[in-house]
Structure 1
Amino acid sequence: MALQEREEGLVTPGDVLGKAAEVRAGKGAYEHSGLIYASITGRSLTVSPSAESPDQRPTLEVMGLKAHGAVPEPGSIVIARVTKVMSRMASVDIMCVGFKSVSEKFTGTIRQQDVRATEIDKVDMHLSFRPGDTVRAIVLSLGDARAYYLSTAKNELGVISAMSSAGETLVPISWTEMQCPLTGQIEQRKVAKVGS
């Protein structure tokens, strides 16, 4: 006898799928405190038990969605983490394209001339970015075989999150400075304008 399957809606980790007294947890699901929860993102599926099964509760499974991660392309706004800062450029790992996370590793380069729109010759890369900073940037081009060329040369682009040496999240106080709320120490950054 064939098992019957009924597809339900889209679920994400932590969504309650049912009560353990009525259904069993299958693939992509788990039981906790009498409830069945989704452990992965996907479509929930109710599988009827076979006639021979001693447990006649249906099984709830979550079929994972195939990860079609976003791919950066020219004009895309990306969120990236700074990995290395050199005198003429900063290297970053791209984490998101728009609001979608990437499923494979993409690297980017922010060149000195692409940090800001004015006083390009006065840009000091070490005063604009630090390793670990999270930046919002726009993809300029595919760059070379190793990395995309990115730009932060607009007010709404630049560092959106950074940690101070004291381990606190820095607070932006101007377009070139962020301050540690714990120590009051001011650090230089190319800050992204908030609320744009």
Structure 2
Amino acid sequence: MSAADAQGVCVGDRLGTTDTYAAGEGVFVRDGFVIASVVGFKRVEVPAAAGELPQKPTLHVASRDTLPLVPKPGDIVTVKISRVAQTAAHALIMCVGRQALSTEFKGVIRQQDVRSTEIDRVVIYDCFRPGDIVRAEVVSLGDARSYYLSTAKNELGVVYAKSATAGAAMVPTSWVTMQCPDTQAVEKRKVAKLESLVSA
């Protein structure tokens, strides 16, 4: 997370082109331009370098009277899984509690933090897939770019996922499976405990 710019802007100011920047909080896109939708401070967020396709910097405008919300250990956060590796799932933190973030933070759910039992038998791809929405707890600030997250508690885990076959929102059927309502296909997940969840 790097704020490369923090200049004051007004509603309607053109901040850059969509060829150069991605749109973040406090802006909208029109005719190929990223335009401020609030009065505040322009901030350019440069993505961390990864071994994938280069990503564009993201333009945000933060309201003058809004202090940025920062996740801290113990917070329950909502994240979107961005990448799944053999030993960890990488995610973008979208909300702290019920409050949406105006700044992008990255998180990592390590293999040992997925669940509280049979940790050595955890297969990350059987627990999370890219695009899944997950409720997790902030464990600590892992490094300069990512928070360590945990889904070890029963009420933490996947709360929304689309099926790989039909793209439909799946329904939890147990603690470790979700089912596509269209194709009836079952996929493995680390499912968050919900009141409506069928007991397994």
Query: What is the CA–CA distance in structure 2 between the aligned matches of 1:66 and 1:190, rounded to whole Å?
Result: 39
Q: Residue type matched to 1:188 in 2?
A: K
The one-letter code sitting in structure 1 at the alignment partner of 2:106 is: T
Amino acid at match of 1:170: M
Q: TM-score, normalised by structure 2?
A: 0.65
1:1-196 correspondence runs (5 A):
66-165=65-164, 166-195=166-195
- CA distance in 2 between counterparts of 1:119 and 1:101 reads 33
Give deviations 1:137-163, integer Å, cap 9, x for gaps: 000001111100000000000000000
Cα RMSD (Å): 1.7
Distance 1:160 1:65 in 2: 33
Using the size of structure 1 for normalisation, the TM-score is: 0.66
Q: Distance in 2 between matches of 1:148 and 1:115?
A: 14
Question: What letter matches 2:140 in structure 1?
Answer: S
Distance in 1 of aligned mates of 2:68 and 2:161? 25
Query: Structure 1 residues 141, 185: CA separation in 2 closer, same or farther (over 3 Å shift)?
Result: same
Whether the 8 Å contact between 1:68 and 1:103 is mirrored in structure 2 is no
Q: Partners in 1 of 2:146 and 2:187 — Cα distance? A: 28
Contact between 1:69 and 1:100, CA under 8 Å: does it hold in 2?
no
How far apart in 2 are the matches of 1:143 and 1:101? 21
Cα offset for 1:71?
1.1
CA separation in 2, counterparts of 1:178 and 1:68?
Answer: 38
Aligned partner of 1:91: which letter? H
Q: How many residues align?
A: 135
**Structure number, greater radius of gyration:** 1
Shift >4 Å, 4+ stretches: none
CA distance in 1, matches of 2:84, 2:136: 16
Question: 5+ residue gaps in structure 2?
Answer: 1-36, 39-62
Report SS of the residue matched to 2:126.
helix
| Percent of aligned positions that are identical | 56
**Cα deviation 1:16-61 (Å, max 9, x = unaligned):** xxxxxxxxxxxxxxxxxxxxxxx98xxxxxxxxxxxxxxxxxxxxx
How far 1:65 sits from its partner (Å)? 7.0
